[in-house]
Amino acid sequence: MAAAGGGESAVASEAGALRALSTQLDATLVQLLVELEQLEGKRVALNARVEEGWFSLSKTRYAMGAKAVSPLQYSSSMTPFFRVCTSEPEPGRPEFEVIFTGTGSPKDGRPQESQGVSDYGEPESESQSPVLRRRPQPQGSPLQPTPPTPAAATSPERDPLTWFGILVPQSLRQAQGSFRAALLVAGEIAALQSRIEWGRAQIQALLQEKQKLLDQLKVA
């Protein structure tokens, strides 16, 4: 009788574990389906942003000329405005995040050189007007504009839009914004794909564990 009671308790314990495992499996599967739907939406958004960027860039080349908007205008020294950060909250589950590291926000296309400069080249405080000042000139001498330093003219951190001129068409700014948005969406897609692969691996592991419990219940 004691052996029978022990066997029944073991079966009940395995049945409870099976129910808990099935619940976890269902929740993981639902989460996977939600992430797959999100991935499809992100891919559509990415394609739309890229198409918008190329369309705006085509409008700019039509307005300024093909030679005025080409790789020939690229700066000789560049620094990326975006970087990809990776983390691993759980073993085998990498996460990706695209971070904007340039001046201003991704929606702000103003170059860094637009910040104010004081009399002796020091940055102005926020209370001062963001205009360029000149050194005091001797009385009677004509005012001479201060030429930009070579370092400022070729700064790799300046807005890439300045490669194509000072007053660029609005379509070029729109193209820049579209491609920046596409980069951020691409980072979200990479993170979603990583979570989906991890979710698929979890479902496979849970299915194997569930099959083992079913086999044990059949033997019992």
Give me the domains of the chain, ranges plus CATH numbers: 9-67+78-135+160-219 (1.10.287)
**What is the distance between the alpha carbons of residues 165 and 64, in angstroms, rounded to a whole number?**
10
**What is the distance between the alpha carbons of residues 59 and 135, in angstroms, rounded to a whole number?**
42
pLDDT at 7: 57
CA 186 vs CA 19, 26, 33, 133, 191: distances in Å:
38, 29, 20, 43, 9
**What is the distance between the alpha carbons of residues 52 and 43, in angstroms, rounded to a whole number?**
14
Contact 10, 216 (CB under 8 A): no
Q: Which two tokens stand for residue 34?
A: 């939600």
**What is the distance between the alpha carbons of residues 175 and 62, in angstroms, rounded to a whole number?**
14
pTM exceeds 0.85: no
Can you give the pLDDT of all 220 residues of the chain as single tens digits? 444 545 567 667 777 778 888 888 999 999 999 999 999 999 999 999 999 999 999 999 888 888 888 888 888 888 888 888 888 777 777 788 888 876 544 544 333 333 333 333 343 444 444 444 444 444 544 444 444 444 444 444 578 888 888 888 899 999 999 999 999 999 899 989 989 999 999 999 999 888 888 877 776 5
Contact 118, 103 (CB under 8 A): no
pLDDT at 220: 59
